[in-house]
Amino acid sequence: MTYIAKPRLHHPSLVKNKAGYTRRDYEGAVSTLCAGCGHDSISAAIIQASYELDVLPHQIAKLSGIGCSSKAPTYFLGASHGFNTVHGRMPSVMTGANLANKNLVYMGVSGDGDSASIGLGQFAHIMRRGVNMTYIVMNNGVYGLTKGQFSATADKGSISKKGVANSDEPIDLVSLAILMGATFVGRSFSGDKHQLVPLIKAAMAHKGAAFLDVISPCVAFNNHPGSTKSYDYVREHNEALNRIDFIESREEITTSYDPGTLTTVRQHDGSILRLRKLGEEYDASDKVAAMKRVQEGMAAGEVVTGLLYVDPSPKDLHHHLNTVDVALNMLGDADLCPGPSALDRINAGLRLSDTSSPCWAASLAASSGPPSCPWPWASCSPNSAAPSRARSPWAARPWAASAVPRWALPSAYGWSCGRAARAPAWCSPGSP
Amino acid sequence: MKPTDIANPDYFHKVVDCQWACPAHTPVPEYIRLIAHGRYSDAYMINWKSNVFPGILGRTCDRPCEPACRRSRVEDENLVKGKKEPVAICRLKRVAADYKDDDDIDAKMPKAPEKNGKRIACIGGGPASLTVARDLAVLGYEIVIYDQDPKLGGFIRTQIPHFRLPESVIDEEVGYITGIGNIEFRHQRVDSMKAILAEGYDAVFVGSGAPRGRDLDVPGRKEAAANIHIGLDWLSSVSFGHIDKVGSRVIVLGGGNTAMDCCRTARRLGGDDVKVIVRSGFEEMKASPWEKEDAMGEDIPILNMLVPKEVTHKNGKITGVLFEKVKAEYDAKGRRSLVPSGEPDEHHECDDVLVAIGQENSFPWIEKDAGIEFDKWGLPKLNEKTFGSTHPKVFFGGDAAFGPKNIIWAAAHGHDGAISIHKMLIGENPEERPAPGVNVASQKMGIHEWSYDNAPTIDHRLKVPHRPKKEALKDIMAEVELGFDPQLAFKEAQRCLNCDVQTVFTGQLCIECDACVDICPMDCISFTDNGEEKDLRTRLMAPAMNPTQDLYIGNDLKTGRIMAKDEDVCLHCGLCAERCPTGAWDMRKYYMEMTQAEHACRKQ
């Protein structure tokens, strides 16, 4: 840690992004982590990624649990929303927050203790629910705050600072995340920002559960010979499968490239990920192959990094739950208490018109068309339709260089800063 | 690029921009820190050793250090209202002189040892000669200083008005030198170099300045001579009390610092309508910006692009000066020439004209056959390293050597001249110059504690308090600038970035964790693949676009990359070293001082 705050003076060439902020504006308080901690590098990568994405600081929510990693959100995005939860319970809080206000960009920051030990159950469930978020585990293989005991991600045979070998099997969060249904899974290394920053950017832009396992050496307790999470070990055993070169929108595919060196992943929203191949042939959209490759790497003692798995057509929690387009925290009293006429309609829908059918649900299923639909908003957002992207923070594809994203403009985010004074017309009870 | 050789004393010397820019290479950050600590006497002695006249220079220096100051490159426009400014180095120097403990200083002053039997003549009693006298007196030489004026000081005493530099300050600092002993002052005008050489001196140092003021050559000059004065001579006469009044309407011709001194002096001797009129544009004037500012602050307008054409007079009395209006034109090579603008001539009425359009060297007293050769501009042919002339025993320094410069250059020349004389007299080769003394020490006090105040402030430059104008203009002896008080001095001193506390990198210790890259507020540090400098400068964390500032290259990294640090905008805040887990970065103070005659010679 340092005793002085980072000076406000900055390089004369520092430029503002399209949102009107410099990279320094995305910083937080000065870190109190140990000097040389990998977590600080990951913080710097998050700052860089947020700056490059032109994201408005107050449109980000960063949530964390307990541990060195979970202290880290204090040290970046100082102007964003933050929530420091009970140990291992960050996924629940993030799920709830995301349910209430899906318009924010969610970033979960956790560690190997917080996610693989005390919070393992929570970790699994947030992945299978497909919460739209970027979940970053700063993985150092030890409990740093309690002076370096092995954590659940420590490799078997890894030697502690005291010289004792770890006898337990490691939990591989990458495999677990893929298995549990995360739709964007990558692994990286705090000492390689060229790989890490684009991965974080792509994860933040991914509209589903994105998980990044970032190996982050603990300089105080796990950076010695015999450790499998030291700077030297990770550099020697790093098997980078690919590197995200750039992300571009459908409208502007102008860059020419050598097809032999790049893999293209066309995503459902039209954006395209260009993955630079590093060595072997690897298809990041093949889930089974991804699990196989990760396991093979583990068996061979490699640290397999890069974008390991991406589902180009992710579905998120709100899609599964079929919620309305507007964030739930934006619904006004008129939407939530539509009044006696709406109640009458609901009741009418529940009434058995046909005595031969004893079940009200069957009646509901039989009824068709908006007039008899019991929930006023269900008719507005049919399950099959794609969510209206016009109001999504990602609609404008912020990585597109040509256009300022809608949500980066003050006029576009006004609606998310509080409850709307008047509910939008399309969301009020429809029938007379 | 090759790894940086930090063993070369010049490398880190260059990083200390102020010290590098100073002709005498005064260790500026060191004395500024001492001022912040309230150790004024120690700060004074560092200055005294290096530039001999801290109290005088703290009021009058041309301050080449300030335009070089790193602070003016790193300040945030938004925090300083668009004006990036250097540390007020010069005025802080004055603080050391103002608040020093005089008894303490007296005790610290050197005393001359027993005479070594060799005698040196110094011609002229200005700063160059006084510096030679000081450096050589402490070695046992017997010094004789000749000057035409009754007191030592040269131009310091005769040209700088007392409202800028009180005489007591000159007396004090000249006194420190003569107080060493073995220094004799002869109030005697030297008319013959041969005569001096005939007196058997072992060496002669010529520090006679550039004493001749350039004259005006226009019609009417002779007829109105009674009211046309050469600025240099006029200021000197004012200084010695021979002149105590001037007409109420005064025109000062010329745009240098002498012109500024003339006009401000005229304001105090009865001139209420004083104007400065220059040939060139306002921006190209030779006067320092702050001197122009001070003159304009005393209600003296500066009119530019006017070339004097004729002095008008009636019945042998001046009535005014006629000026031709000009404009600047640039040829293909960008050279400027002033051509008539075609507008009608302007006439300015006046009672007196002060001519301050330049000064020249003048050596009528050096006989052609004295063995000293001169070049076509009338300057002595000198060895640029040793300041030795074509006569083996005669050395030059100050304005006499390379034409008019300033006090700090004179002091620097004096040190060099003294080294040459000493080396010559002990039989060494004066061409071999001594290396500077360098002392390197880590500033680490504890895990996160440094022996210097490493947090940069964001305060903007403080103004030196001035005497109220009404009061100042009434009394020619009343010093206008009152100087910083200790509180202001502390605040201003804190603006110094401590550029002498260097970031030193040891590649073998580095684990490439990026901690320094992440914390550096100025994005100075990059770990990248090596390349040519030109290419490297473009692909760092932030582009290094100032080619006058070096890239510090460190190697021996495990990944085979290099560490490249752009020295240009480093705040020397030490955060890289604080965040470094292995001590690969360390903050080390490079205390560099120029070697003077006392320690320069006698190789082991």
- Residue B405's nearest CA partner among B164, B65, B61 is B61
Question: Which amino acid, one-letter code, is at A190?
Answer: S
Nearest C-alpha in A relative to B584: A36
Say how far residue B354 (Cα) sits from the centre of its chain: 26
The winner for highest mean pLDDT among A80-94, A382-396, A398-412, B332-346 is A80-94
Burial of A305 (0-12, 13-18, 19+ CB in 10 A): buried
**B530: how many CB neighbours lie within 10 A of its CB?**
15
Nearest C-alpha in A relative to B518: A44
pLDDT band at residue A360, thresholds of 50, 70 and 90? very low
Burial of B557 (0-12, 13-18, 19+ CB in 10 A): middle
For residue A180, CA distances in Å to A176, B296, B593 come to 6, 78, 68
Q: What is the DSSP pairing of strand B273-277 with strand B302-303?
A: parallel
Per DSSP, A139 falls in state E
Structural domain that includes position A217? 23-318
Q: What is the pLDDT of residue A249?
A: 61
d(CA B58, CA B66): 12
Q: Percentage helix, strand, coil, to 5, in chain B?
A: 30, 20, 50
Pairwise CB contact (< 8 Å): B582 & A2: no
- A210 is a domain residue: yes
- Which residues of chain A neighbour B580 with C-beta distances below 8 Å? 35-36
- A411 is a domain residue: no
Looking up residue A124, the CATH number of its domain turns out to be 3.40.50.970
Q: Where are the alpha helices (DSSP H) in B444-485?
A: 469-474
Q: Please determine whether the domains at B110-211+361-425 and B213-357 fall in the same fold group of CATH.
A: yes
Q: Mark whether A219 and A353 lie in a shared domain.
A: no
Taking 90 as the threshold, does the pLDDT of residue B83 lie above it?
Answer: no
Q: Mark whether A244 and A344 lie in a shared domain.
A: no
d(CA B443, CA B554): 20
Q: What is the pLDDT of residue A255?
A: 47
B259-271 pLDDT tens trace: 999 999 999 999 9
Q: Residue B64, SS3?
A: coil
- Which residues of chain B neighbour A13 with C-beta distances below 8 Å? 542-543, 545
A112-128 pLDDT tens trace: 999 999 999 999 999 99
Percentage of residues in chain A with pLDDT exceeding 90? 64
Q: Where are the alpha helices (DSSP H) in B226-277?
A: 231-239, 257-268
Q: In the numeric block, which tokens belong to residue B549?
A: 């500032």
Pairwise CB contact (< 8 Å): A4 & B511: no
- List the end-to-end C-alpha distance of chain A, in Å, as a whole number: 64
- Give the closest-approach CA distance of A77 to chain B in angstroms: 14
- Residue B147's nearest CA partner among B172, B129, B160 is B129
Say how far residue B334 (Cα) sits from the centre of its chain: 29
Residue A210: CB partners within 8 Å, gap ≥ 6? A133, A134, A135, A182, A183, A184, A185, A186, A202, A203, A204
B531-563 pLDDT tens trace: 999 999 999 999 999 999 999 999 999 999 999
B543, B559, B571 member nearest A7 (Cβ): B571
Taking 50 as the threshold, does the pLDDT of residue A134 lie above it?
Answer: yes
- Residue B63's nearest CA partner among B83, B36, B41, B92 is B92
Whether B563 and B540 have beta carbons less than 8 Å apart is answered as no
- A417 is a domain residue: no
- Which residues of chain A neighbour B74 with C-beta distances below 8 Å? 9, 12
CA torsion, ordered A251, A256, A258, A260, to nearest 10 deg: 10
CB-based contact, A279 to chain B, within 8 Å:
no
- Give the closest-approach CA distance of A2 to chain B in angstroms: 6
Q: What is the pLDDT of residue A400?
A: 36
Cα B68-B301-B264 angle, rounded to 5 deg: 75
Per DSSP, B455 falls in state S
Residue ranges of domains in chain B: 110-211+361-425, 213-357
d(CA A207, CA A268): 9
Overall residue count recorded for chain A in this entry: 432
pLDDT band at residue B601, thresholds of 50, 70 and 90? low
Residue B448: CB partners within 8 Å, gap ≥ 6? A1, A2, A3, B578
State mean pLDDT over B137-144: 96
d(CA A204, CA A207): 8
A422 — phi, psi (to 5°)? -135, 130
Whether B150 and B174 have beta carbons less than 8 Å apart is answered as no
CB-based contact, B558 to chain A, within 8 Å:
yes
Q: Mark whether A84 and A194 lie in a shared domain.
A: yes
- Residue A81's nearest CA partner among A424, A417, A419, A430 is A417
Q: In the numeric block, which tokens belong to residue B431?
A: 């061409």
d(CA B127, CA B55): 13
Q: Residue A38, SS3?
A: helix
Q: What is the pLDDT of residue B156?
A: 94
For residue B196, CA distances in Å to A192, B133, B188, B192 come to 74, 17, 12, 7
Edge-to-edge, what's the strand order for the sheet holding A60-64? A81-84, A60-64, A105-111, A133-139, A209-215, A184-189, A303-310, A238-240
Whether B297 and B290 have beta carbons less than 8 Å apart is answered as no
Pairwise CB contact (< 8 Å): B515 & A8: no
Taking 60 as the threshold, does the pLDDT of residue B304 lie above it?
Answer: yes
d(CA A43, CA A75): 7
For residue A125, CA distances in Å to A181, A182, B433 come to 9, 10, 76
CB-based contact, A100 to chain B, within 8 Å:
no
Kindly provide the residue ranges of all beta strands, DSSP E only, lying in A52-112, ordered along the sequence: 60-64, 81-84, 105-111
- A160 is a domain residue: yes
d(CA B207, CA B127): 8
Pairwise CB contact (< 8 Å): A232 & B456: no
Q: In the numeric block, which tokens belong to residue A298?
A: 């583990």
- Which residues of chain A neighbour B518 with C-beta distances below 8 Å? 40-41, 43-44
Rg (CA), chain B: 26
Domain count, chain A: 2
Q: Mark whether A267 and A231 lie in a shared domain.
A: yes
State mean pLDDT over A238-256: 68
Question: Which amino acid, one-letter code, is at B254?
Answer: G
CB-based contact, B455 to chain A, within 8 Å:
yes
d(CA B84, CA B71): 8
- A80 is a domain residue: yes
- Which residues of chain A neighbour B569 with C-beta distances below 8 Å? 11-12
Q: Which CATH superfamily is domain B213-357 in?
A: FAD/NAD(P)-binding domain (3.50.50.60)
- Give bridge partners of residue A369 from the DSSP assignment: none
**CATH topology assigned to domain B110-211+361-425:** FAD/NAD(P)-binding domain (3.50.50)
- Give bridge partners of residue B564 from the DSSP assignment: B526, B553
Pairwise CB contact (< 8 Å): B522 & A231: no
CA torsion, ordered B240, B246, B252, B257, to nearest 10 deg: 30
- Give bridge partners of residue B338 from the DSSP assignment: B328
Tokens 């085979």 -> residue: B560
Pairwise CB contact (< 8 Å): B542 & A41: no
Whether B551 and B564 have beta carbons less than 8 Å apart is answered as yes
Q: Mark whether A310 and A346 lie in a shared domain.
A: no
| A 31-70 residues with CB < 8 A to B | 31, 34-38, 40-41, 43-44
B406-462 pLDDT tens trace: 999 999 999 999 999 999 999 999 999 999 999 999 999 987 789 999 999 999 999
pLDDT band at residue A403, thresholds of 50, 70 and 90? very low
Whether B570 and B73 have beta carbons less than 8 Å apart is answered as no
| A 229-248 residues with CB < 8 A to B | 231-232, 235
CA torsion, ordered A10, A12, A13, A18, to nearest 10 deg: 60
Please name the helix (run of DSSP H) or strand (run of DSSP E) that holds residue B539, with its range, or none.
none
Whether A395 and A372 have beta carbons less than 8 Å apart is answered as no
Q: Mark whether A263 and A161 lie in a shared domain.
A: yes
- Which residues of chain B neighbour A8 with C-beta distances below 8 Å? 76, 79, 458, 521
- Residue A25's nearest CA partner among A4, A3, A56 is A56
d(CA B574, CA B519): 10
Whether B497 and B70 have beta carbons less than 8 Å apart is answered as yes
pLDDT band at residue A1, thresholds of 50, 70 and 90? low
State mean pLDDT over B495-502: 97
Taking 50 as the threshold, does the pLDDT of residue A405 lie above it?
Answer: no
Burial of B445 (0-12, 13-18, 19+ CB in 10 A): exposed
Q: What is the mean pLDDT of chain B?
A: 94
Say how far residue B553 (Cα) sits from the centre of its chain: 32
- A133 is a domain residue: yes
CB-based contact, B519 to chain A, within 8 Å:
yes
Cα B189-B213-B307 angle, rounded to 5 deg: 170
Q: Mark whether A189 and A110 lie in a shared domain.
A: yes
B79, B456, B512 member nearest A231 (Cβ): B512
Percentage of residues in chain B with pLDDT exceeding 70? 99
- Give bridge partners of residue B176 from the DSSP assignment: none
Of A284, A318, A352, the residue at which a domain comes to its end is: A318
- Which residues of chain B neighbour A190 with C-beta distances below 8 Å? 513-514
| Interface predicted TM-score (ipTM) | 0.86
Q: Mark whether A296 and A363 lie in a shared domain.
A: no
